[in-house]
């Protein structure tokens, strides 16, 4: 029996330094924040929002993307271990990828340039914890 999956609900990644990662994702993506623990949260609020694990959750079309700050300092992501290989965000078209590449350059984020792989275009880069990220646009 297959489950009646209708799409993704959310993705959350584990990071070593919430401030650094939040700044990176704010600068690169500029997504609206859906949930975040207030810095002056009282104990009741902290208990009610335990599921944030002290992190932040962004709104993305069709779901949520979160940062969970529980990885030990100095830990680094590698796609060669069991778990996540990479995370890909979809953009409307090739021109948007070209604009994203320019934005990454402005921010000093290394990337491999926009690649045409036939069925679409992709732009690969990494976040501060070395998590492999990709921006994708379908072929025209």
Q: What residues does each domain of the chain span?
A: 1-74, 76-140
Structure tokens at 36: 């975040």
Q: Taking residues 90-98, what's their average pLDDT? A: 96
Closest CA to 124 of 68, 66, 79: 79
Residues 67-90 have pLDDT tens digits of: 998 887 888 778 777 678 899 999
Query: CA 23, CA 27: separation in Å to the nearest integer?
Result: 6
pLDDT > 90: percent of the chain = 73
**CATH of span 76-140:** 3.10.180.10
Would you state the pLDDT for residue 44?
A: 94
In this structure, whether the domain defined by 1-74 belongs to CATH 3.30.450 is answered with no
What DSSP character marks residue 50? G
The burial class, CB within 10 Å (0-12 / 13-18 / 19+), for 34 is: middle
Q: Is 124 exposed, middle or buried (0-12, 13-18, 19+ CB in 10 A)?
A: middle
Contact 122, 132 (CB under 8 A): no
What span, in angstroms and rounded, lies between the C-alpha atoms of 34 and 66? Answer: 9
3 state SS of 99: helix
CA gyration radius, the chain = 17
Q: What is the pTM of this model?
A: 0.89
Give dist(CA 108, CA 111) in Å, integer.
Answer: 9
pLDDT for 45-66, tens place per residue?
Answer: 999 999 998 899 999 999 999 9
């Amino acid at each position: 029996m297959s489950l009646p999956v209708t799409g993704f609900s959310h993705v959350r990644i584990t990071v070593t330094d919430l401030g650094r990662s939040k700044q990176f994702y704010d600068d690169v993506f500029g997504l609206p924040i859906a949930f975040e623990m207030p810095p002056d949260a009282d104990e009741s609020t902290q208990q009610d929002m335990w599921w944030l694990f002290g992190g932040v959750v962004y709104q993305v079309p069709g779901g949520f993307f979160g940062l969970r700050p529980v990885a030990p300092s100095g830990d680094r992501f590698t796609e060669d271990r069991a778990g996540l290989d990479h995370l890909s965000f979809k953009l409307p078209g090739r021109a948007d990828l070209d604009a994203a590449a320019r934005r990454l350059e402005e921010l000093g984020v290394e990337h491999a340039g926009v690649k045409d792989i036939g069925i679409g275009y992709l732009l690969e880069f990494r976040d501060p914890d070395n998590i492999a990220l990709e921006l994708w646009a379908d072929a025209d």
